[in-house]
Every structure is written in structure tokens, then in C-alpha cells.
């Protein structure tokens, strides 16, 4: 083996940071940094403890261990943290006494990317945010930009939008059910969910050309009209979807182990949910009948009939039942949309490069995870001056420290799965 020349070796960024810190400290006349309190135990470095003194009171409280407590680092690589989420949990035995969610492992700067893209191309960047609800991701900026430009999508386009968005909701809720069971050790429901999801994404691929990042919405309409393949697949899928959902329901809804593990667990009251800004199925599972489709109707939702289903208990089981109930509402909506869809064009006339007048616009949709909204500011240029996205998963994650302490490790996973966060949306 040849020794690596220190001059040519690519330095580790952490070493650079430490060297820089040492240089700055030396310049300021300070000694070497003191080791963080509690970061060492019996000569071993404790994993999960920040490599610096605590910055806030909260951090000091979290990372100071009492007798019999242990920090456990779960994630970002962990079998069930729903993407690259990291949780530092403080354990007493197996009981979680405190936790510190660490976010940002999937940050891609999508807001900034969108601010450097023209209005028409922004819709291609938002797809991979909440990757289980790409259609919803595209819907909100489309609404906001149409307000900004003062154009209106044709009615047929609005119907197609509602159709694909509800199809997206069906597979997203279906996957949540599967992942909840998977995080509780049930292996089969996720497979059934994925069979259903595969049917839906093939369906959406036949209309948009893509299975995951659809890139289907356009400012002022949608990219393509429904085609024969889409319609035949839709008919075929429609015949099997209730059975595939029913298979999952039979496996878990009345399962004693499932009920024993989910009922009364991770209870989120309606007041708490409202004060934390939780929206979507998680809010409705706590008994608050707020649905953007009903409260602030967009697209064609005021022409369609559907119920805002709510549950009363606000526990993990209620959130599961909520998903199943909403899924059935979505199927009901799809029926109505197919029944009422008018003829006509699917795309309004929009110039290639648009410079809207300076102003601001807000578009909000009900995504499978809650109120997903976009706030766009135009300064008259070809790109948005500011493009802000409110992702419901990010807001929902804030209640984790409220729900999890006092429960066992196994339950933290069930609670997290029941909140159904998607890290792509949380970290943007």
C-alpha cells in the first residue's frame, strides 16, 4: 500500500470545519473547544449527541441524560422512519421520554429552484416534493399562477385535474394503510397496497406519460386529454379497487392485535391539532371537519357531492379509519367526475414566456396529507420573485414531540406512520 500524500488527499469536510473552527478560536484568543457535556460516557463517545455545546435551553434539556436514560439515534437510515428522517429519542428502558426530530436530509432547495424557473417550468420542479402526491403538488401552483395571470383553465381541464388528483389520493391513502401495518410488523397489507398503487400509477402514466413524477398540469389546463387506454384501464381498475382495499381492511381493521396496539394511542385532540396547524386526515381524525375542498372550494369541487368524514377519538386507529373512509369518498368523487365530465378543450391559450403583472397569489389544495398551498409573488419578471410552499407533512411532524413521549419505541413508529409524513415534502 502506498501512503496517501496529505497534499493530494481530498480532505474530509468535517475535518475542514473543525480546522476552521480551531483557526477562528485561535484568532479570537480562545482555547480548544470544550467537549459537550454528556457527550462522553465511560470513555466512549455517545452517538447522537451534537458535537458542540448546547445552543438553547431546549437542547440542553434534551441532551442532558439522567440516571437510567439513554439516547437512541433512529435514522436517517432506519428501516421505518419514512424516508430520511432522523429521530433522536431519549429512552428510559423502552419508554420514550423525549425526542428530537432532525430534519433536512432530503433538502433539495426546491423553492429556490422554482424561483429561478419560468412560471411554466415551475410545475416540473414541484413533483418530487411530496412524491406520493405529485398531482396535488402541481395543482396548487397551477391554481396560484392562474390567479396571477388572470386566466382560467377550461372546464374539461378542471374535471381532468380533479380526476387525476383523486386517483392520486386513492393510492396515497392506500399506501399509508400499508405502511402503518408494516411499521407494526404486518407484512402483507403493504404488498396489497402496492398492487393497487401500481394499477393507479399505470393509469396515470397512460394519461401523463410518467409513473411517479407526472408533470401533467400546465398553467391554464392539463397536458393531455383523457385517452382510450386511460379509460379502459380506469374501468378495469374500478372493478378491482374495492376488493384490494377490502383485502387490507379484512386483514387489519378488526384484527385484535392491531386494535390493541392502535386504539387510545397517540391521541391528538382537536384543540391541539388546530393550535399546531395540523390539517388533512390527521385533523379530521381528531374530530375537526375541515377540508379545503369543502371550506374553500377550488377547481370543480363545489359541483361535486362528498362528505367531510371525521373520527372522534384522534388516536392512531382513528387516523387509520379516516384514511379508509376518505379513500371511499375519493372513489365516489371519481364516479361523479367521470359522469359529469364535459366536452371541450383541455388547455387555455397561454403565451410561451409569461410576465405577469406584479402581485401575489395564493393557491391551496387538499392533498392527502392536508392543506398544501403555494404563495407566489411576482415582481413583473419571467420568474416568481418568491415561491413559498406550505407542505402539510412538515406541519404535521411538529406534533410528534406532543404524541410520542410516554409511549414505547414500537409505538413511536406506529404514531409516525399514522401521521403519514413524506420526507420529500418536509425537507423540500
Summarize as ranges the residues that interact with other proteins (CB under 8 A).
Answer: 44, 47, 70, 72-73, 78-80, 94, 181-188, 191-192, 195, 251-252, 255, 257-258, 260-261, 408-411, 413
Q: Which is nearer to other proteins, 192 or 230 (CB)?
A: 192
List beta partners, residue 90: 71, 98
CB of 360 to other proteins, least distance (A): 44
Please give the C-alpha separations between residue 342 and each of 153, 227, 299, 326, in angstroms, as whole numbers. 13, 15, 14, 25
Concatenated DSSP letters for 409-426?
A: HHHHHHHHHHH---HHHH
CB of 71 to other proteins, least distance (A): 8
Strands in 69-74's sheet, in edge-to-edge order, are 69-74, 86-92, 95-102
Q: Which is nearer to other proteins, 128 or 186 (CB)?
A: 186
CB of 81 to other proteins, least distance (A): 9
CB of 252 to other proteins, least distance (A): 7
Grouping H, G, I as helix, E, B as strand and the rest as coil, residue 428 is coil
Grouping H, G, I as helix, E, B as strand and the rest as coil, residue 5 is coil
CB of 192 to other proteins, least distance (A): 7
Sequence-distant (6+) residues with CB within 8 A of 290 are 279, 283, 284, 308
- Cell triple for 179: 405502511
Q: What's the rounded Cα separation, in Å, for the pair 96 and 69?
A: 10
Q: What's the rounded Cα separation, in Å, for the pair 418 and 415?
A: 5
Task: Give strand ranges (E) for 93-220.
Answer: 95-102, 217-218
CA angle (384, 424, 165) in 5-degree steps:
75
Q: Which is nearer to other proteins, 178 or 370 (CB)?
A: 178
Q: What's the rounded Cα separation, in Å, for the pair 178 and 248?
A: 8
CB of 410 to other proteins, least distance (A): 5
Q: Which is nearer to other proteins, 35 or 93 (CB)?
A: 93
Q: Which is nearer to other proteins, 184 or 334 (CB)?
A: 184
Q: Which is nearer to other proteins, 85 or 129 (CB)?
A: 85
Q: Which is nearer to other proteins, 247 or 303 (CB)?
A: 247
For the chain, the C-alpha Rg in angstroms (whole number) is: 24
Q: What's the rounded Cα separation, in Å, for the pair 158 and 315?
A: 35
CB of 321 to other proteins, least distance (A): 16
Q: Which is nearer to other proteins, 163 or 413 (CB)?
A: 413
CB of 39 to other proteins, least distance (A): 15
Q: What's the rounded Cα separation, in Å, for the pair 286 and 282?
A: 7
Q: Which is nearer to other proteins, 259 or 313 (CB)?
A: 259
Q: What's the rounded Cα separation, in Å, for the pair 17 and 109?
A: 22
**In terms of Cα–Cα distance, which of 368, 355, 353, 354 is closest to 422?**
368
CB of 381 to other proteins, least distance (A): 48
Amino acid at each position: 500500500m502506498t501512503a496517501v500524500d496529505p497534499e493530494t488527499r481530498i480532505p474530509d469536510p468535517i475535518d475542514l470545519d473543525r480546522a476552521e473552527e480551531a483557526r477562528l478560536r485561535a484568532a479570537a484568543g480562545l482555547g480548544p473547544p470544550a467537549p459537550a457535556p454528556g457527550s462522553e460516557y465511560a470513555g466512549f463517545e455517545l452517538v447522537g449527541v451534537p458535537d458542540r455545546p448546547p445552543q438553547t435551553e431546549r437542547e440542553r434539556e434534551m441532551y442532558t441524560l439522567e440516571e437510567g436514560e439513554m439516547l437512541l439515534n433512529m435514522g436517517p437510515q432506519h428501516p421505518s422512519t419514512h424516508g430520511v428522517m432522523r429521530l433522536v429519542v431519549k429512552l428510559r428502558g423502552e419508554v420514550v421520554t423525549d425526542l428530537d426530530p432532525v430534519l433536512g436530509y432530503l433538502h433539495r432547495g426546491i423553492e429556490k429552484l422554482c424561483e429561478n424557473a419560468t412560471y411554466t417550468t415551475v410545475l416540473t420542479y414541484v413533483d418530487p416534493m411530496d412524491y406520493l402526491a405529485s398531482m396535488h403538488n402541481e395543482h396548487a401552483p397551477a391554481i396560484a399562477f392562474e390567479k396571477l395571470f388572470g386566466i382560467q383553465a377550461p372546464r374539461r381541464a378542471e374535471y381532468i385535474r380533479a380526476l387525476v388528483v383523486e386517483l392520486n389520493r386513492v393510492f396515497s391513502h392506500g399506501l399509508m394503510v400499508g405502511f402503518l401495518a408494516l411499521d407494526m410488523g404486518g407484512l402483507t397489507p403493504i404488498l396489497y397496497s402496492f398492487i393497487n398503487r401500481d394499477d393507479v400509477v399505470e393509469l396515470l402514466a397512460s394519461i401523463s406519460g410518467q409513473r411517479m413524477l407526472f408533470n401533467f398540469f400546465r398553467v391554464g389546463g392539463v397536458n393531455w386529454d383523457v385517452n382510450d387506454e386511460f379509460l379502459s384501464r380506469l374501468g378495469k381498475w374500478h372493478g378491482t379497487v374495492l376488493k384490494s382495499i377490502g383485502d387490507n381492511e379484512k386483514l387489519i381493521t378488526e384484527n385484535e392485535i392491531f386494535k390493541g396496539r392502535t386504539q387510545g394511542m397517540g391521541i391528538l385532540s382537536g384543540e391541539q391539532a388546530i393550535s399546531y396547524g395540523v390539517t388533512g386526515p390527521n385533523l379530521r381524525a381528531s374530530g375537526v371537519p375541515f377540508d379545503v375542498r369543502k371550506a374553500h372550494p377550488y377547481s370543480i369541487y363545489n359541483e361535486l357531492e362528498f362528505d367531510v368524514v371525521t373520527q372522534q377519538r384522534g388516536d392512531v386507529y382513528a387516523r387509520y379509519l379516516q384514511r379508509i373512509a376518505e379513500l371511499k369518498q375519493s372513489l365516489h368523487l371519481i364516479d361523479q367526475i367521470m359522469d359529469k365530465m364535459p366536452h371541450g378543450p383541455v388547455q387555455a391559450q397561454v403565451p410561451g414566456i409569461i410576465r405577469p403583472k406584479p402581485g401575489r397569489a395564493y393557491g391551496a389544495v387538499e392533498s392527502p396529507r392536508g392543506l398544501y398551498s403555494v404563495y407566489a409573488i411576482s415582481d413583473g419578471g419571467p420568474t416568481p420573485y418568491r415561491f413559498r410552499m406550505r407542505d402539510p407533512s412538515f406541519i404535521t411532524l411538529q406534533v410528534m414531540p406532543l404524541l410520542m413521549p410516554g409511549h414505547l419505541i414500537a409505538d413511536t413508529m406506529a404514531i409516525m406512520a399514522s401521521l403519514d409524513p413524506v420526507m420529500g415534502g418536509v425537507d423540500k
